Structure 1
Amino acid sequence: MQIQDLLKQTDKLPNVPDVVRELIQLLNNSKANYSDIAASVSHDQTISLKVLRVVNSAYFGLSRKISSIDEATVLLGMDKLKTLVIASGFSSSVSQVDGIKLPEFWAESFRVAELAQWFAKRTERVDADEAFTVGIVHNIGRLLLHLTEPDIAQDIYALVANRKASRLKAEHDLLGFTTQDAGKALMDLWKFPSGLGDAVQQHKRPFAEGDPIPLACVLNLACYISACIRTDRDLDLVRDGFPSAVAKAAGLSAGVIYELDDALMIGEGLNHLLG
């Protein structure tokens, strides 16, 4: 099988709103006109309602109710609005997927995104907005596989669940490529910045292609901490297993290991977007 066999099934691909794609394509454009973006967001009723629900939640703790995207932009700033719009747009991109519980899938993606952003803010090598975005889409290849080839996706799951193969080996054996490869291909199709796709493709094994990409390293760390949160791992065990070489390649100081208790508190702030 080729990755293009998945991408050719255009009727099954996630339907990401245009305003979300536009925002992601503008991530590195310092001259972008974000007032036009805010106007586009306002015209997308689904995204606007979800974003305003989060803005008015305890997560932000604002002193008064916000009733418009323009108000949200003024009070929160475009950076926070971007993250909310991107998260909302992706979580609305599909309504049902065989073999995936979407609320759990997106809740995990949101947590990885916030963790990636947390790590990115502690290094000068990674942009925090890019880290958040790549966290949201880090598992989009698995979503693509379940949408287009649900039977193969189930076979891979069975091999992993029965401990007959690692996820990586099972995907290579049954597909000939990984879902990270598929994720990059889908992001390339959407014309997202190439660095985002490269990070998704390489984050599982950031040293496999030679010099690691800092964004891929940050994503690797975010996935590690998210797994620790999911399994309720003790802080000492989290520190013992922390991939210090990956952290160093991301440009993080050795002292970040003593801040991991804060990272472990990151959780469900964006889950209002799933309603």
Structure 2
Amino acid sequence: MELKSLVDQPGKLPTVPKVVQQLIASFNSEDVSSADIARQIAADPALSAKLLRLANSAFFHVSRTVGTVDDALRMLGFVMVRNLVLGNGMVAAFKNTKGMDLPQFWRYNLYTAVAARWLAMHAGDHGQDNGDAVFTVGMMHGIGQLQLHVVAAAEVAPLDKQVNVLDAARADKEKERWGFHYADVSAELAKIWNFPDALASALRDIPDPMATGKLDRAAAWVLLGAWIARVEVLKLDDDAARACYPAQVAKKLGVDPAWTPLLVKHAADKADLAMPALKELSAGLDAMLE
């Protein structure tokens, strides 16, 4: 199996809703019009209803009811509205993927995205780290795994029996077997869909954010988010969780281990560093997975 063979024909690519295609195009547009995007979203009643449900969820703590798509853009910002629509579009595009526990997979992706965003915002460098952009990478980071299962189910099935698709060792096992891993597939899809180069690079680097010799910060935050999401979704015990913690990457980011009780015994003066529970952190956003 070769990497290019997974994405080399239009028929092998998932069908992405038109409004999602337009939002993807906005990544590379310097003169994107929020009003145009609002009209495009508003033209889809089902999508508009879901966006407003998400915008009014506990996740955003909005001070008043978000009643229109325009309100959502004003109150949440264009990037986060785009994230919500993209996430919903990706779930829809891969809804018929066989051989995977899709509810578990998408919950893991959502948990990864919200955890990575929280970490970037609370432990990151405000000059370098954009929490909403990190959320985008988090929600997109697993699409390569889905593409593998759609296009190459027979080749992937034997590995699935050995290693869970969410296991921390999965990327290495794939690399050993095929010479590439799911993150490379994610990056190829991002390039085909004309996502920015920086986003495609971050997707590729998530299994090893220091692979190029320079830390990819977005990939690094998502790797940390994926770790805590994996612990939660796979219900890892404390020893297994600590064993797969990406400590070197966390140290490079300068993250105090007090962000999760699994790693330290919390001192009273560090309680404010702890990340909220993932269910609390993602409250309301699970509507995106429906």
TM-score (norm 1): 0.83
Tell me by how many angstroms 1:188 deviates. Answer: 0.7
Amino acid at match of 1:272: A
User: Is the aligned partner of 1:146 residue 2:166?
Assistant: no
- TM-score with structure 2 length normalisation? 0.79
2:174 matches 1:159 = no
Most deviating of 231-240 and 254-263: 231-240
Counterpart in 1 of 2:267?
none
Cα deviation digits, residues 36-94 of structure 1 (max 9, x gap): 11111112334223212323445556677654312333444434322322221212212
Q: How many residues align?
A: 271
Taking the aligned partners of 2:289 and 2:259, their CA distance within structure 1 comes to 31
Aligned equivalent of 2:231, options 224, 228, 231: 228
> 1:175: which partner in 2?
178
- Deviation of the 1:184 alpha carbon: 0.7
Residue aligning to 2:284 = 269
What root-mean-square deviation, in Å, do the aligned CA atoms of Structure 1 and Structure 2 show?
3.0
Cα separation, 2, equivalents of 1:267 and 1:75? 18
Secondary structure of the residue that 2:134 maps to in structure 1? helix
Are the structure 2 counterparts of residues 13 and 88 from structure 1 closer, same or farther at C-alpha, using a change threshold of 3 Å?
Answer: same
Check 1:94–1:39 CA distance in 2 against 1; reply closer, same or farther (3 A cut): same
Percent identity over paired residues = 31
1:260 aligned residue: 274
CA contact (8 A) 2:138 2:222 kept: yes
**Partner amino acid for 2:202?**
A
> 1:1-275 alignment to 2 at 5 Å?
1-27=1-27, 31-60=31-60, 66-122=66-122, 123-124=124-125, 125-160=128-163, 166-232=169-235, 242-250=245-253, 252=255, 256=259, 258=270, 259-262=273-276, 264=278, 265-275=280-290
* Structure 1 counterpart of 2:5, one-letter code: D
Given that residues 199 and 213 in structure 1 are in contact (C-alpha distance below 8 angstroms), is that contact kept between their aligned partners in structure 2?
yes
CA contact (8 A) 2:59 2:281 kept: no
Identify if the C-alpha distance between structure 1 residues 245 and 134 changes in structure 2 by more than 3 Å, giving closer, same or farther: same
- Do the aligned residues in 2 keep the contact of 1:17 with 1:89 (CA within 8 Å)? yes
Structure 1 residues 9-18 or 110-119, which shifts more? 9-18
Distance 1:224 1:212 in 2: 18
Q: Which moved more, 1:12-21 or 1:258-267?
A: 258-267
Can you list the C-alpha shifts for 1:211-247, whole angstroms capped at 9, x where unaligned? 2211111111111121222245688997897544313
Please give the secondary structure, in 2, of the residue aligned with 1:121. helix
Task: Quote the Cα distance in structure 2 between the aligned partners of 1:236 and 1:175.
Answer: 30
The residue identity in structure 2 corresponding to 1:96 is N
Paired with 2:235 and 2:274, the residues of 1 have a C-alpha distance of 13
Summarize deviations over 1:221-275 as a string: whole Å, max 9, x none: 1111212222456889978975443134336567756523426553453111222
- Change over 3 Å in CA distance of 1:217–1:263 after alignment to 2: farther
Amino acid at match of 2:182: T
- Would you say the 8 A contact 1:6–1:144 is kept in 2? yes
CA contact (8 A) 1:55 1:66 kept: yes
Q: Which runs of 5+ in 1 are unaligned?
A: none
